[in-house]
Protein backbone atom coordinates (compact mmCIF):
# COMPACT_ATOMS: atom_id res chain seq x y z
CA UNK A 1 0.00 0.00 0.00
CA UNK A 2 1.49 3.33 -0.96
CA UNK A 3 1.99 6.15 1.52
CA UNK A 4 -0.47 8.46 -0.25
CA UNK A 5 -3.29 5.95 0.25
CA UNK A 6 -2.26 5.45 3.88
CA UNK A 7 -2.28 9.22 4.41
CA UNK A 8 -5.75 9.56 2.87
CA UNK A 9 -7.06 6.70 4.99
CA UNK A 10 -5.56 8.23 8.16
CA UNK A 11 -7.17 11.56 7.25
CA UNK A 12 -10.54 9.87 6.98
CA UNK A 13 -10.17 8.01 10.28
CA UNK A 14 -8.51 10.75 12.36
CA UNK A 15 -10.48 13.73 11.02
CA UNK A 16 -13.91 12.46 10.04
CA UNK A 17 -14.81 8.81 10.63
CA UNK A 18 -12.95 6.96 13.40
CA UNK A 19 -15.65 4.31 13.14
CA UNK A 20 -14.21 3.32 9.74
CA UNK A 21 -11.56 1.21 11.54
CA UNK A 22 -13.24 1.36 14.22
CA UNK A 23 -11.22 3.26 16.83
CA UNK A 24 -12.02 5.74 19.57
CA UNK A 25 -10.36 9.16 19.64
CA UNK A 26 -9.87 10.91 22.96
CA UNK A 27 -11.22 14.44 23.50
CA UNK A 28 -8.16 15.97 21.82
CA UNK A 29 -8.25 13.65 18.81
CA UNK A 30 -5.48 11.28 19.87
CA UNK A 31 -5.63 7.59 18.95
CA UNK A 32 -3.46 4.69 20.07
CA UNK A 33 -0.92 4.05 17.31
CA UNK A 34 -0.58 0.31 17.96
CA UNK A 35 -4.37 -0.08 17.80
CA UNK A 36 -4.54 1.81 14.50
CA UNK A 37 -1.77 -0.34 13.00
CA UNK A 38 -3.39 -3.56 14.22
CA UNK A 39 -6.81 -2.61 12.83
CA UNK A 40 -5.36 -1.39 9.52
CA UNK A 41 -3.48 -4.69 9.19
CA UNK A 42 -6.75 -6.49 9.99
CA UNK A 43 -8.23 -4.74 6.93
CA UNK A 44 -5.39 -6.08 4.78
CA UNK A 45 -3.29 -2.91 4.78
CA UNK A 46 0.47 -3.44 4.88
CA UNK A 47 1.47 -0.93 7.56
CA UNK A 48 3.76 -0.89 10.56
CA UNK A 49 5.08 1.78 12.90
CA UNK A 50 7.94 2.73 10.57
CA UNK A 51 5.53 3.27 7.65
CA UNK A 52 3.19 5.40 9.77
CA UNK A 53 6.14 7.43 11.07
CA UNK A 54 7.26 7.98 7.48
CA UNK A 55 3.75 9.11 6.45
CA UNK A 56 3.69 11.59 9.36
CA UNK A 57 7.21 12.91 8.68
CA UNK A 58 6.88 13.17 4.91
CA UNK A 59 3.31 14.41 4.49
CA UNK A 60 3.66 17.63 2.49
CA UNK A 61 0.83 19.26 4.43
CA UNK A 62 2.00 17.92 7.81
CA UNK A 63 -1.54 16.73 8.52
CA UNK A 64 -0.58 14.40 11.38
CA UNK A 65 1.35 14.46 14.60
CA UNK A 66 2.81 11.72 16.78
CA UNK A 67 3.20 12.30 20.50
CA UNK A 68 6.72 12.42 21.93
CA UNK A 69 6.68 8.71 22.79
CA UNK A 70 5.40 7.70 19.31
CA UNK A 71 2.49 5.89 20.97
CA UNK A 72 -0.38 8.16 19.85
CA UNK A 73 -1.28 9.92 16.61
CA UNK A 74 -3.73 12.68 15.70
CA UNK A 75 -4.64 15.00 12.86
CA UNK A 76 -3.43 18.59 13.26
CA UNK A 77 -6.67 20.18 12.02
CA UNK A 78 -9.52 19.72 9.56
CA UNK A 79 -11.82 17.70 11.78
CA UNK A 80 -15.51 17.40 11.04
CA UNK A 81 -15.99 15.63 14.39
CA UNK A 82 -15.94 17.38 17.74
CA UNK A 83 -12.30 17.51 18.87
CA UNK A 84 -10.58 19.95 21.22
CA UNK A 85 -7.11 20.48 19.79
CA UNK A 86 -6.25 22.57 22.89
CA UNK A 87 -4.97 25.40 20.73
CA UNK A 88 -4.30 28.74 22.37
CA UNK A 89 -5.62 31.92 20.73
CA UNK A 90 -2.92 33.58 18.63
CA UNK A 91 -2.45 37.06 17.22
CA UNK A 92 -2.61 36.70 13.45
CA UNK A 93 -0.40 38.44 10.90
CA UNK A 94 -1.89 41.44 9.13
CA UNK A 95 -3.22 39.34 6.29
CA UNK A 96 -3.96 35.70 5.62
CA UNK A 97 -5.16 33.93 2.48
CA UNK A 98 -7.81 31.42 1.54
CA UNK A 99 -7.72 29.36 -1.62
CA UNK A 100 -10.95 28.12 -3.12
CA UNK A 101 -12.42 27.20 -6.48
CA UNK A 102 -13.76 30.07 -8.56
CA UNK A 103 -17.20 28.42 -8.63
CA UNK A 104 -17.57 29.12 -4.89
CA UNK A 105 -16.67 32.82 -5.09
CA UNK A 106 -20.21 34.23 -5.47
CA UNK A 107 -21.45 32.32 -2.42
CA UNK A 108 -18.42 33.34 -0.36
CA UNK A 109 -18.88 36.99 -1.27
CA UNK A 110 -22.48 36.74 0.00
CA UNK A 111 -21.92 34.73 3.21
CA UNK A 112 -18.21 35.08 3.95
CA UNK A 113 -16.00 32.11 4.66
CA UNK A 114 -17.91 29.59 6.74
CA UNK A 115 -16.53 26.43 8.26
CA UNK A 116 -19.18 24.13 6.83
CA UNK A 117 -18.83 20.67 8.34
CA UNK A 118 -15.37 21.40 9.73
CA UNK A 119 -14.54 22.95 13.08
CA UNK A 120 -12.76 25.98 11.59
CA UNK A 121 -12.11 27.97 8.43
CA UNK A 122 -8.56 27.24 7.22
CA UNK A 123 -6.30 30.11 6.22
CA UNK A 124 -2.77 30.22 4.80
CA UNK A 125 0.16 32.55 5.42
CA UNK A 126 0.94 32.94 1.73
CA UNK A 127 -0.68 33.00 -1.69
CA UNK A 128 1.31 29.98 -2.92
CA UNK A 129 -0.09 27.67 -0.25
CA UNK A 130 -3.59 29.07 -0.72
CA UNK A 131 -3.30 28.45 -4.47
CA UNK A 132 -2.39 24.79 -3.88
CA UNK A 133 -5.40 24.41 -1.59
CA UNK A 134 -7.76 26.10 -4.05
CA UNK A 135 -6.43 23.99 -6.93
CA UNK A 136 -7.68 20.81 -5.26
CA UNK A 137 -11.26 21.95 -5.89
CA UNK A 138 -11.03 23.30 -9.44
CA UNK A 139 -9.77 26.52 -10.99
CA UNK A 140 -8.39 28.43 -7.97
CA UNK A 141 -9.09 31.91 -6.78
CA UNK A 142 -7.36 33.45 -3.80
CA UNK A 143 -8.99 35.63 -1.17
CA UNK A 144 -7.08 37.96 1.11
CA UNK A 145 -8.32 38.12 4.71
CA UNK A 146 -7.75 41.28 6.75
CA UNK A 147 -6.83 39.22 9.78
CA UNK A 148 -5.50 42.12 11.83
CA UNK A 149 -8.79 44.04 11.50
CA UNK A 150 -10.72 40.91 12.44
CA UNK A 151 -8.50 40.40 15.48
CA UNK A 152 -8.98 44.03 16.54
CA UNK A 153 -12.74 43.49 16.37
CA UNK A 154 -12.54 40.47 18.67
CA UNK A 155 -12.37 37.54 16.26
CA UNK A 156 -10.25 34.71 17.61
CA UNK A 157 -7.53 32.97 15.62
CA UNK A 158 -5.55 29.82 16.29
CA UNK A 159 -2.55 28.34 14.56
CA UNK A 160 -2.35 24.56 14.24
CA UNK A 161 0.77 22.44 14.73
CA UNK A 162 1.43 22.54 10.99
CA UNK A 163 1.05 26.30 10.57
CA UNK A 164 -2.52 26.46 9.27
CA UNK A 165 -4.38 29.46 10.67
CA UNK A 166 -7.89 28.73 11.95
CA UNK A 167 -10.90 30.84 12.82
CA UNK A 168 -14.64 30.25 13.12
CA UNK A 169 -15.86 32.55 10.33
CA UNK A 170 -14.59 35.30 8.06
CA UNK A 171 -17.32 37.88 7.35
CA UNK A 172 -17.49 39.45 3.89
CA UNK A 173 -16.17 42.91 4.92
CA UNK A 174 -12.79 41.32 5.75
CA UNK A 175 -12.40 39.62 2.34
CA UNK A 176 -10.92 40.90 -0.89
CA UNK A 177 -9.73 39.10 -3.99
CA UNK A 178 -5.97 38.76 -3.78
CA UNK A 179 -3.67 39.80 -6.57
CA UNK A 180 -1.43 37.02 -7.83
CA UNK A 181 1.88 38.16 -6.43
Query: Is the C-alpha dihedral spanning 94, 98, 103, 108 positive or negative?
Result: negative
Q: The CATH number of 96-177 is which of 3.40.50.1820, 3.90.420.10, 3.20.170.30, 3.30.1330.40?
A: 3.20.170.30
Read off the pLDDT band of 180 (50, 70, 90). Answer: low
Domain boundaries, the chain: 3-75, 96-177
Burial 118-133 (b: 16+ CB within 10 A, else e): bbbbbbbbebebbbeb
Q: Is the pLDDT of residue 51 over 90?
A: yes
CATH code of the region 3-75: 1.10.10.970
| 110 C-beta neighbours (distance < 10 Å), count | 8
pTM here is: 0.78
List, for residues 72-128, the tens digit of each pLDDT value. 999 988 888 988 888 999 999 999 999 999 999 999 999 999 988 888 999 999 999
Question: How far is it, in rounded angstroms, from Cα 64 to Cα 145?
Answer: 26
Amino acid sequence: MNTKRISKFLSLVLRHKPEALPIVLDDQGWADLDEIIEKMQGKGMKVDQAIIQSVVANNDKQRFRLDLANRRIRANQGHSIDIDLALEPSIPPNELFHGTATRFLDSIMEKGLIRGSRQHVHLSLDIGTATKVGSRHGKPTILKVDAQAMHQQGFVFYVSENGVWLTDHVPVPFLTKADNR
